[in-house]
Amino acid sequence: MDESELAVLRTMYVFGPAEGSTWNLTYDLVTSKLRERNPDEFIRVDEGDQGPVPGSVMHFGITLGDETLEGMAKLAPEGITLEDATAQAAAAFVQWLRNSIVPTGTSVSFNTEWGLEIDLPDALVPDAPRPRVAATFLAHLEAIDAMN
């Protein structure tokens, strides 16, 4: 695939703390930060069969530019996903994560649904401007395409 085809591909992006670290993620934190952006964002927590934390998942909507995307947050394993997103949308989302959710100085790892399917290890999101982050995501997609 060429770069223009990769730029419009949509997949699920998975973000989490780098190995050995934590974001101290809570659903209250994610809810409050989403509501700061847009008080009308969709948020739902499925408590699972063991109560409010074990097995629970938070589903949410987030508006990025002109597009509303959906995501999920889990406390165990700790992480947040952005579903059906382009590399550009994922780069905008991870910038929001860094500014709102991730503790200062904590690294963010990422993978994609396709990367997980082929056991590609998580990689660190560069602490860089959005264009460089998007380029990192595109390089990830290109590497997966080359493996197939």
d(CA 113, CA 81): 10
CA angle 99, 65, 79 (to 5 degrees): 45
| Per-residue model confidence (pLDDT) at position 53 | 59
pTM over 0.85: yes
Residue range 79-136, pLDDT digits in tens: 999 999 999 999 999 999 999 999 999 999 999 999 999 999 999 999 999 999 999 9
Domain range for 142: 3-147
27-81 pLDDT per residue, tens: 999 999 999 999 988 999 886 655 455 568 999 999 998 899 999 999 988 999 9
- Evaluate whether 16 touches 124 at the Cβ level (below 8 Å): no
What is the total count of domains within the chain? 1
